Amino acid sequence: MDIWEKIKYEFHKGDSAVKQIIIVNLAVFISTVLVGVVATVSGFHSSDLLKYFAVPSDIGTLLMRPWSLVTNIFFHSGFWHLLGNMLLLFFLGRILEDFLSTKKVWHIFIFGGLSGVVLFIVGYNLFPVFSEVVSEGNLRGASGGVTAIIVATGVYLPRYQIRPFNLFNIEMRWVALLFVFRDLYSFPGMQNLGGIIAHLGGAIFGALYILNLQGKIEFPTFSWNTGKSANMKKVVLDEKEIKNQKKSAQKAKPNQDEVDAILDKISQSGYDSLSKTEKEILFKASE
């Protein structure tokens, strides 16, 4: 199956987070192009309009554009920026989607992007290197969310192998590390520092999300109850109940050795070579 056939196959599948994310990003990009055309013929600069959808690094400006915290994730600075992100998402994101639900992949993409945004804003307002440009910085693009998905795949499926351009096999853990190392290596060059910070924010979230999913760490849980003693008792009961549920879920899940053995089999023979039992084990592991 060639690359074009793979793309057509993926887009004819049922619910697919990767497909949905790509379609949303394409729709937004086409919309920005059309807005740009209308703005130009009307005597406006399209950049003056589109800047309202990129998240600013200046806190005061951000307070005037709170929607940009989300809209920036779907806006790109140009065609090649969009194409690069969507190709990475298509070829690497669909690996994770074979093992996690559509909802979880969306969570990783959105919250990975938001984590990148938060780190970008904090970095620009905290690091002295940005002191002269903090009022001018802005961020747009899906790179933070895409990086979150790539790193999440590397953490969740570390031994899963891909074969870039049919040249050699490489495990996903090394792919994820290469992406992180690329950003760390580029940092001293002072080029696209805002984007690099956003990538790293996405990478951190992607790794933490999977570690939490595997029960290796716990994200803090919050209660919306207010009041004093009665509600405090309710919070304690909620925490105990959550821990008991997690223990029960962990008992029901297969151990990591079983999962690793199945992943090795997939790397060698493909997903279709799995038995029904092995597919059920993978499904339970992804819950």
Tokens 């804003």, residue located: 121
Does 271 have pLDDT greater than 70?
no
Model pLDDT, residue 272: 66
**Among all chains, which residue has been given the structure tokens 């151990």?**
255
Task: Name the more confident of 278 and 252.
Answer: 278
pLDDT, residue 243, reads 53
**Does residue 171 register a pLDDT over 50?**
yes
Q: How confident is the model at residue 265 (pLDDT cuts 50, 70, 90)?
A: confident
Mean per-residue pLDDT over the chain, rounded = 81
**Are residues 210 and 148 in contact, defined by beta-carbon separation less than 8 angstroms?**
no
Task: Quickly state the pLDDT bin for 232 (edges 50, 70, 90).
Answer: very low
Across the range 239-251, mean pLDDT stands at 51
Work out the number of other CB atoms within 10 angstroms of the CB of residue 84. Answer: 15
**Model confidence over 41-71: pLDDT tens digits?**
887 777 777 788 999 999 999 999 999 999 9
Domains of the chain (ranges; CATH) run 3-219 (1.20.1540.10)
| Mean pLDDT (whole number) for 103-114 | 95
**Averaged over 187-214, what is the pLDDT?**
90
Q: Where is average pLDDT lowest: 31-40, 169-178, 189-198, 271-280?
A: 271-280
On the question of pLDDT at 143 being above 70, the answer is yes
Q: Point out which residues pair with 170 in neighbouring strands.
A: 162
Question: By three-state DSSP, how is residue 192 classified?
Answer: coil
pLDDT reading at 238 higher than 60: no
CA 243 to chain centre: 27
Residue 254 is classified by DSSP as P
Percent of the chain with pLDDT over 90: 45
Asked if pLDDT for residue 114 goes beyond 80, the answer is yes
| Mean pLDDT on 119-145 | 88
User: What is the pLDDT at residue 226?
Assistant: 43
Mean of pLDDT values over 104-130? 93
The Cα diameter of the chain in Å comes to 65
Q: Provide CB contacts within 8 A for 144, sequence distance 6+.
A: 73, 112, 113, 114, 115, 116, 117, 198, 199, 201, 202
DSSP for residue 160: -
Between strands 170-171 and 161-162, the pairing is: antiparallel
For residues 232 and 83, the model is more confident at: 83
CA distance 16 to 218: 27
Residue predicted with more confidence, 32 or 268: 32
Residue 15 predicted with pLDDT over 80: no
Structure tokens at 13: 């599948």
Lowest-pLDDT choice from 11-15, 156-160, 162-166, 221-225: 221-225
Nearest one of 99, 82, 90 to 33, comparing CA atoms: 82
Encoding tokens for residue 206? 């992607």
State residue 234's pLDDT score: 40
Q: What is the DSSP letter of 136?
A: T
Between residues 273 and 137, which one has the greater pLDDT? 137
